[in-house]
Chains A and B, each alone.
Chain A
Amino acid sequence: MKLPPRKQMEFGAIAFVLGACASAPLFLSNYPLFVLSLAIVNTIAVLGLNLVMGYAGQISLGQAGFAAIGAYATALLVVNLDTSYWLAVPLGALLAALSGYILGLPALRLGPLYVSMVTFGFGLIVVIIVQNWYELANGPNGMIVPPPVFFGRELFPREFHVAIVAIAAVLFLLARNIVDSKHGRAFIAIRESEIAARGMGVNLPHYKTTAFALGAFYAGLSGGLFAGLAQFINPDAFVFPVSILYVTMGILGGITTLVGAAIGSAMLTALPELLRGAAEYKDFLTGLLLLLLLIFLPNGIVGFVRQHFTGVLPAKNGQSASGRVATHNVLPTTLQPRGRSENNPILEVENLSVSFGGLKALQNVNLTIRSNEILSVIGPNGAGKTTLFNLISGLNRPTAGRILLDGADITGMSAHSRAPLGIARTFQNLDLFGEMSVLDNVRVGAHTRLKSSLLQAALRTKAERVEEARYCDVAMDLLRFVGLGLYASQKANSLAFGHQRLLEIARALASAPRLLLLDEPAAGLNSSELDFLMDLIRRIHKGFGISVLLIGHTMRLVMTLSNRVVVLDHGVKLAEGLPAEIQRNSRVIEAYLGTDDA
């Protein structure tokens, strides 16, 4: 296996840290070893937090509550039911995951601020319950947990430390596998833009609850291991400030990374111990240090290192540096051209109406898109064109009327289940996943074509690896197809406006659609770029046999490419016909084109 130098360095560093941690019992005395074990246990909770908060963008202030569930469930199972510790820990984590899943449900309806309040409330409630329920777990006095037993023998802390290191390493690996898979990309996509994620077929309810469950699972394991390590738990170990401490650890290390979890946890677990000599000033110095780190390293330590030592890859040669799009005439072989079928209607819109408040955005609109057709929708700004797109792609629901795809009614279907049926779109005002790489944006476009489950991804099975590699190639081909091959590793939001439009097209094509909805693809392109775009749309249409529904204000584009044109005005269909007919239509000229040259 050949790795780029940066990866080799990362692997080397991780192997070194892992080796040092595992062999620590040989050279550390009891107390420092305990602190190291604790740092690793904290790392596990922070890994979960980074998954839910850093990757999926769901603010969680109740991580200590999930850890409490894991810890108490483990302790109760071991003490009362004589369950094996090694079985009790995963069971406790599963219980935590279930709570996380349930807690994720309100997140489907609420905004980010309210979600954070829900998790905050949850963390408080868990602590209040264990504090006051004496019969269950001895209330504030806490519970003594027997040392973990391994093959009939009680483990010494030194031996248990090695077990903790091994478990943490496995959990780190699983988390890394998940974030590098379609599931991890779906998490980031949700964080970056929920609307675009839905448009790409990402099932929002599923991924939000999964993120919470996953984060809670890690916290639960951390809690269970803490119970085995400390051999004593009480409610104080899981109070709200602990949740905040986890968040601080995450942010300090770099919350959108996994390595950051380890770095942040290690630093903030060790810091209070190092400041022991200055006991009076401990809290003050801890606070000050944090403040300074967060001011000067807003993206955390890992973010700082990446920014300064790797940076954005510069464009490779003059062609792309000139800002021009490199034309690439080869059709991506990974997208097979479809056979041209007869002139069947692919999408039918029947008497579609929608109102927002009192505003009738669309009234009784009828239109049909046939297979292998380019149909354009034009009309003044505010005529309802984008609203029509939102209804077809399922982002809005009509107040009346039906939408049929291949004759089947899809009017009530959610946005994410329309993508796999073959409808893909671009967005008028651009809705890319800005912090993701250009390549990963396209890979999210293929989300519904990748079939691997979360478990397969976490275990990185052979089938999953093959599938990932295959669709990575598809995405790269598509990038070259739209002329953005050289920008693959850059962040999407670093591209110029017109290039972002082309990226949206590549992302939409990645779902292998049969109907492509393009919302003003020419806006922000100059006239040579427009030529490239027109050629691109032709190749998409003829080469792949994809039907295109196009919104455009650029008459050269609309009148040259379209088979037919529909004109909307004030939510009503004003005219429909061949491009030449529309250009001569006096009502269209008056409402839209204007009297002199167009």
Chain B
Amino acid sequence: MMLELINVNAYYGRIQALKGISLRVDEGKIVSLLGANGAGKTTTVRTIVGLNRSTANDIRFEGRPIGRIQPHKIVRLGIAMVPERRELFPDMKVIDNLEMGAYSRANADELRRDLDWTYSLFPVLAERRKNRAGALSGGQQQMLAIGRALMSHPRLLLLDEPTLGLAPLIVKQIFATLQKLNQDGMTILLIEQNANQALKLSEYSYILENGQIALEGKSAVLSADPTVQRSYLGAT
């Protein structure tokens, strides 16, 4: 088991955003996290990477409690996040953004290799490596955000709405890339509003509601269940 959350709580001031979330992500799998706006999806990934504090040592990565480890150390353990709305460094060049992703690493050879690997996944980033990140189109920016996360050479990749605001054609490319990454061995936890595509891509899914896990199961089963579709995924 790669990542495990046991009964995790999180608060914003006095508001409890997560109320006892338990979930697990097994090695080599894609797991999706679905739910309405405000359900707690973003809070969950922020808590995993240490940007929000949880109250106890109730988050484990490869068996090791990480609930009290600082965010920059969590990156070194092998968890990378692609944040909601990308959060690029807009005034830095593409290549500098990618190198920031490798900030915690020292080995220049490995770095070179990962840069080539990222460019092979997203050739357009190589073409535009000297451009300002803020000058890229939305799709290219999202690719850069994913590429930057990959540059820390993670074993677990957390993606918070990677297809937000992207043209249909680009959405397909992003999903295809995620599938390819997974086939090469990457473990992925995916937040996505496009529930049907996420269910198709992932093996297992959790549906959040009101800061709690409302439902979980094999994605294929959830996908086929009309009640689930109606009550949680807003199928029409």
CA gap between A380 and B140 in the complex, in Å: 11
A312 touches B37 (CB 8 A): no
Judge if B50 is at the interface, Cβ distance under 8 Å.
Answer: no
Query: Which of B10-18, B52-60, B94-102 interfaces with chain A?
Result: B10-18
Q: Which of A314, A318, A495, A594 contacts B38 (CB 8 A)?
A: A495
A555 touches B168 (CB 8 A): yes
Judge if A428 is at the interface, Cβ distance under 8 Å.
Answer: yes
Which residues in chain B, 132-161, are within 8 Å of chain A measured between CB atoms? 135-140, 161
A311 touches B168 (CB 8 A): no
Question: Which residue in chain A gives the minimum CB-CB distance to B214?
Answer: A322
Judge if B235 is at the interface, Cβ distance under 8 Å.
Answer: yes
B36 touches A526 (CB 8 A): yes
B164 touches A528 (CB 8 A): no
Judge if B236 is at the interface, Cβ distance under 8 Å.
Answer: yes
Judge if A578 is at the interface, Cβ distance under 8 Å.
Answer: no
Known: A311-B13, A530-B234. A525 touches B37 (CB 8 A): yes
Judge if B80 is at the interface, Cβ distance under 8 Å.
Answer: no
CA gap between A593 and B166 in the complex, in Å: 11
Residues of A within 8 A of B172 (CB): 594, 596
B84 touches A497 (CB 8 A): yes
A527 touches B234 (CB 8 A): yes
Task: Report B41-82 CB contacts with A as 1/0, cut-off 8 Å.
Answer: 010000000000000000000000000000000000000000
A498 touches B167 (CB 8 A): no
A sample of 7 cross-chain residue pairs with beta-carbon separation below 8 angstroms, ordered by A number, consists of A312-B15, A315-B15, A381-B138, A382-B139, A498-B37, A592-B169, A593-B169
Judge if B7 is at the interface, Cβ distance under 8 Å.
Answer: no
B36 touches A323 (CB 8 A): yes
B102 to chain A, nearest CB (A): 26
Question: Which residue in chain A gives the minimum CB-CB distance to B234?
Answer: A528
Residues of B within 8 A of A359 (CB): 135
Judge if A496 is at the interface, Cβ distance under 8 Å.
Answer: yes
CA gap between A460 and B14 in the complex, in Å: 35
Residues of A within 8 A of B85 (CB): 429-430, 497
Judge if A529 is at the interface, Cβ distance under 8 Å.
Answer: yes
Residues of A within 8 A of B15 (CB): 312, 314-315, 494
B166 touches A381 (CB 8 A): yes
Question: Which residue in chain B gives the minimum CB-CB distance to A525?
Answer: B193
Q: Which of A312, A381, A523, A527 contacts B235 (CB 8 A)?
A: A527
B14 touches A592 (CB 8 A): no
Question: Which residue in chain A gives the minimum CB-CB distance to B139?
Answer: A381
Residues of B within 8 A of A528 (CB): 36, 233-234
Which residues in chain B, 25-48, are within 8 Å of chain A measured between CB atoms? 34-40, 42
Judge if B178 is at the interface, Cβ distance under 8 Å.
Answer: no
Residues of A within 8 A of B216 (CB): none
CA gap between A593 and B170 in the complex, in Å: 9
Beyond A324-B38, A497-B37, 20 additional contacts (C-beta under 8 Å) are: A311-B13, A312-B13, A315-B15, A323-B39, A325-B37, A380-B170, A381-B138, A381-B140, A382-B139, A497-B85, A499-B38, A526-B37, A526-B193, A527-B193, A527-B235, A528-B234, A529-B36, A529-B37, A592-B168, A593-B169
Judge if A545 is at the interface, Cβ distance under 8 Å.
Answer: no
Judge if A520 is at the interface, Cβ distance under 8 Å.
Answer: yes
Judge if A321 is at the interface, Cβ distance under 8 Å.
Answer: yes
CA gap between A494 and B15 in the complex, in Å: 10
B58 to chain A, nearest CB (A): 22
Residues of A within 8 A of B135 (CB): 359
Interface range on chain B (Cβ under 8 Å from partner): 35 or more
CA gap between A528 and B168 in the complex, in Å: 19
A321 touches B210 (CB 8 A): yes
A526 touches B13 (CB 8 A): no
B166 touches A524 (CB 8 A): no
Known: A312-B14, A382-B139. A524 touches B161 (CB 8 A): yes
Judge if A159 is at the interface, Cβ distance under 8 Å.
Answer: no
CA gap between A566 and B72 in the complex, in Å: 45
Residues of A within 8 A of B140 (CB): 381-382
Which residues in chain A, 494-534, are within 8 Å of chain B measured between CB atoms? 494-499, 520, 523-531
Task: Report A463-496 CB contacts with B as 1/0, cut-off 8 Å.
Answer: 0000000000000000000000000000000111
A309 to chain B, nearest CB (A): 11
A538 to chain B, nearest CB (A): 15
Question: Which residue in chain B gives the minimum CB-CB distance to A596?
Answer: B172
B168 touches A594 (CB 8 A): yes
B170 touches A381 (CB 8 A): yes
Judge if B195 is at the interface, Cβ distance under 8 Å.
Answer: yes
CA gap between A594 and B193 in the complex, in Å: 20
Judge if B165 is at the interface, Cβ distance under 8 Å.
Answer: yes
A379 touches B14 (CB 8 A): no
Most chain A beta carbons < 10 A, residue from B35, B140, B172? B172
Known: A323-B209, A494-B12. A428 touches B36 (CB 8 A): no
Judge if A267 is at the interface, Cβ distance under 8 Å.
Answer: no
B169 touches A526 (CB 8 A): no
B236 to chain A, nearest CB (A): 7
B20 to chain A, nearest CB (A): 15
Judge if A553 is at the interface, Cβ distance under 8 Å.
Answer: yes
A445 to chain B, nearest CB (A): 21
B138 touches A382 (CB 8 A): yes
Known: A311-B13, A381-B139. A323 touches B35 (CB 8 A): yes
Question: Which residue in chain B gives the minimum CB-CB distance to A307?
Answer: B13
Question: Which residue in chain B gives the minimum CB-CB distance to A556?
Answer: B236
Judge if A17 is at the interface, Cβ distance under 8 Å.
Answer: no
Residues of B within 8 A of A323 (CB): 35-40, 209-210
B193 touches A496 (CB 8 A): no
Which residues in chain A, 555-598, are within 8 Å of chain B measured between CB atoms? 555, 591-594, 596, 598
CA gap between A307 and B14 in the complex, in Å: 10
CA gap between A311 and B14 in the complex, in Å: 7
CA gap between A526 and B12 in the complex, in Å: 23
Residues of B within 8 A of A530 (CB): 234
Task: Report A310-330 CB contacts with B as 1/0, cut-off 8 Å.
Answer: 011011001001111100000
Which residues in chain A, 346-394, are within 8 Å of chain B measured between CB atoms? 359, 378-382
Residues of A within 8 A of B139 (CB): 380-382
B97 to chain A, nearest CB (A): 17
CA gap between A159 and B193 in the complex, in Å: 68
Question: Which residue in chain B gives the minimum CB-CB distance to A591?
Answer: B169
A579 to chain B, nearest CB (A): 14
